Structure 1
Amino acid sequence: MQEFFQGLVGGVSVVWLVHSISILLGFATFREGTPSFLPFDLLKSSRNVLLPALRGFITATSISVVEEVVFRSWLPEEVAVDLGYYNAILMSGVAFSLIHRSLPSVPGFVLLSLVLFGLKQRTQGNLAAPIGLRSGIMTASYLTQTSRIIAFKPETPFWMISTYHLHPFDGAIGLSICALLAILFFPQRPVQKDTSVS
């Protein structure tokens, strides 16, 4: 359970990092009327955020469980038998990206798939951390979209930022962060156990 929550916090942090960099570079701003982070303002605005956050979390976690079981467990294990470990990871990542039906999102989702494989490997095959990370990314993206807390400036180049909040890795900023994470968490080939008897 701890790995799930660490992944969840990591996913939310990654999405906010993408948007924070967009704001710092001047491509986006907080919308007018955005509540401040003072305790009274947070308490007042929490009732408007709590239900969508809960709905987004439940939906995101349900989708993440299915995606991770299929694309980080079942499919790569089946493909690896015939085509090898890294081919299985690559094919599973491409299939994972194509189910989202967004051509600009394919590179980001392939890189995200590498991150999720790496997390699974670092937790000895446990899917809790990848499910948490994916759920955090989807929940934070959903809340960003529904709350309309961030406004992108019209003169911002389309290739620099994601034009669709549910896919934060479409633009150059998100893709760069996802590429960095893919390098940090790149899955290593599992060590083969020697089954020969001497």
Structure 2
Amino acid sequence: MGLLIAKLKVFPFPLRLLLFLGIPLLAWLPWVGLGGVLFGQDYLWLPLYALLLLWLWQWGSGFAAYGLDSSWTCRAGILWGLGIGAGGLFLLFGLEGALGWLSWKPVEGGSLLGYGLLGLGVGLAVALVEELLFRGWLVQEMALDYGWTRALWGSSFLFALAHFLKPPAEVLVTWPQFPGLWLMGLLLAQAKAWNQNKLGLSLGLHAGWVWGVTWVNNLAWIEYTGRAPAWLTGIGNNPLAGLMGLLFLGGTFLVLKGLAGGRS
């Protein structure tokens, strides 16, 4: 395995990227048929995520190479990111509720806790893979060939683009989400730099956003009133895919920049 990786690392970035992604995808193909029969189509992404994590571990000889380790800086970053990500998202919902753009629906206490824990688990799982891949491996590999600035913008562009690997009909409906996803990628990359190049803060932020959105959606906790257009509150009920979401990401950037400045 080490010899294969050493050979792959000498290729230019575009070919390196195709080979890096192609190998786990080829290993995943047998699961598409077997897993679909045994577990259903909804769970096919689980073995793919596991294969990606294993491949990332092998490529970097551990996750510490990408900035994910057991240091206090990294662990504290995860906790701060979870709080700022999920807390900020609920502040956004609260503001839109106060403006009459959405309403809160009653939920049972047991469901609230159960779906909250489920959302946290989903958020951490999604953020772990995507942050290791995009803010870990991809930024480092692009920086080797193009430098840090181009790697920052390019990896964020590819992060946004990866969310549109879906049928063309869905792409046509959801394409306005692209600027928000690109801005999210830029913010998460900058968060890694603010966290002493550790992945904790960006992982926590990402997990916090997915946690909040998953929690609210699974509970059907909020309902948009239609008093504000979707381009303002979020295309496809995605709170980060509208003008308010862009302003929210900009506000998060300023808060994190202030905190980073205060620690320096």
**Does the TM-score normalized on the shorter chain lie above 0.5?**
yes
The answer for the alignment partner of 1:168 in structure 2 is: 239
Q: What is the Cα deviation at residue 185 of structure 1?
A: 5.0
What is the alpha-carbon distance in structure 2 between the residues aligned to residue 149 and residue 7 of structure 1? Answer: 23
1:111 and 1:182 in contact (8 A); partners too: no
* Number of the residue aligned with 2:80: 6
Q: Which runs of 5+ in 1 are unaligned?
A: 36-44, 187-198
1:133 to 202, 205, 229: 205
What amino acid is the match of 1:151? Answer: E
Deviating more after overlay: 155-164 vs 126-135: 155-164
Q: Amino acid of the residue matched to residue 12 of structure 1?
A: A
- SS, match of residue 151 in structure 1: strand
Partner of 1:159: 231
1:28 corresponds to 2:102: yes
1:92-144 Cα shifts (integer Å, max 9, x gaps):
11111122224222111111112211221111111111111111100110111
Q: Aligned residue for 2:149?
A: 86
SS in 2 for 1:29: strand
In structure 1, the residue matched to 2:128 is 65
Query: Counterpart of 1:88 in structure 2: which amino acid?
Result: A
Contact map agreement 1:114 1:185 (CA 8 A) in 2: no
> Shift of residue 184 of structure 1?
5.6
Identical amino acids, percent of aligned pairs: 25
Match of 1:123 in 2: 195
Q: SS at the partner of 1:160?
A: helix
Quote the offset at 1:172 in angstroms.
Answer: 1.0
Q: State the aligned residue count.
A: 174
How far does the alpha carbon of each residue in 1:10-39 deviate from its partner, in whole angstroms, 9 at most, with x for none? 1111211221221122211223xx26xxxx
Stretches of structure 2 lacking an aligned partner (at least 5 in a row)? 1-74, 165-173, 258-264
Q: Which has the higher contact order (CA 8 A, sep 6+)?
A: 1
Aligned-residue Cα RMSD (Å) equals 1.8
